[in-house]
């Protein structure tokens, strides 16, 4: 389970940062920054990948009630312009900027999951596998993952072909098959090879269904 040993080495307040959605073929990349309370940290915080969806939701809701939370979202069209690396760096920056605005000052230190840092004004440390060892980063991973999942479930209502309610935009077999059959939706990342390859037949005049959003009545 993650702990607070890294936090204890840093000047408070400490923001943990993580992202969700680097790998999917559709939808945004989402980053979260979380400053945990000095007391009353919710129990059960862990790497979001190790938690079932219901537990992520419970912890997400608890964190929003007791922690300082910032969220950064970079949409698919901007991912295509920047590339996924720089889009992720931007999402992280947006999340920490939001935390700084809520605090009224910059965090004392930022702990970031991974081995790279954005180009920003904050004192920060990257930690490979940080969501497994830092409670602050694990908390951010929960908020980022739950936030992005809710975004993709909402998109699944509008664009039902791709099964985003279950695959959240990742390139599983059913998603790839739907891409071949229907072509990309507006929130697909066209700079990602499977999407670009699927788009070619439709760009050449192949038939595809309209992508006017579908709304349940």
Binding residues: 18-19, 113
Q: Which tokens in the block code for residue 211?
A: 């992508």
Residue 170, classified by CB atoms within 10 Å of its CB into exposed (0-12), middle (13-18) or buried (19+), is middle
Q: Which tokens in the block code for residue 22?
A: 């680097």
Write down the residue that tokens 């999917």 correspond to. Answer: 24
The annotated binding site for a divalent metal cation is made up of: 18-19, 113
- Helices in the chain by DSSP H: which ranges? 53-66, 76-82, 84-103, 130-133, 135-158, 164-167, 173-182, 193-203
Given a contact cutoff of 8 angstroms between Cβ atoms, the answer to whether 92 and 72 are in contact is yes
Per-residue DSSP letter, 71: E
Its sign, for the CA torsion 204, 206, 212, 216, is negative
Its sign, for the CA torsion 182, 183, 185, 186, is negative
């Amino acid at each position: 389970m993650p702990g607070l040993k890294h936090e204890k080495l840093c000047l408070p307040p400490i923001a943990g940062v993580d992202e969700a959605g680097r790998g999917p073929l559709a939808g945004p990349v989402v980053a979260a920054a979380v400053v945990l309370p000095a007391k009353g940290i919710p129990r059960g915080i862990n790497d979001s990948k190790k938690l079932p969806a219901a537990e992520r939701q419970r912890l997400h809701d608890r964190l929003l009630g007791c922690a300082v939370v910032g969220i950064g979202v970079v949409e698919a069209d901007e991912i295509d312009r920047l590339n996924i690396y720089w889009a992720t760096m931007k999402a992280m920056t947006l999340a920490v900027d939001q935390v700084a605005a809520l605090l009224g000052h910059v965090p004392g230190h930022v702990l970031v999951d991974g081995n790279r840092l954005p180009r920003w004004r904050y004192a920060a440390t990257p930690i490979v596998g940080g969501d497994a060892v830092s409670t602050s980063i694990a908390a951010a991973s929960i908020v980022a993952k739950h936030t992005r999942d809710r975004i993709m479930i909402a998109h699944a209502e509008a664009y039902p072909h791709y099964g985003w309610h279950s695959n959240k935009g990742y390139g599983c077999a059913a998603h790839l098959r739907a891409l071949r059959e229907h072509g990309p939706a507006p929130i697909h990342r066209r700079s990602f090879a499977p999407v670009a390859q699927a788009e070619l037949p439709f760009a050449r005049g192949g038939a595809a269904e309209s992508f006017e959003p579908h709304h349940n009545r």
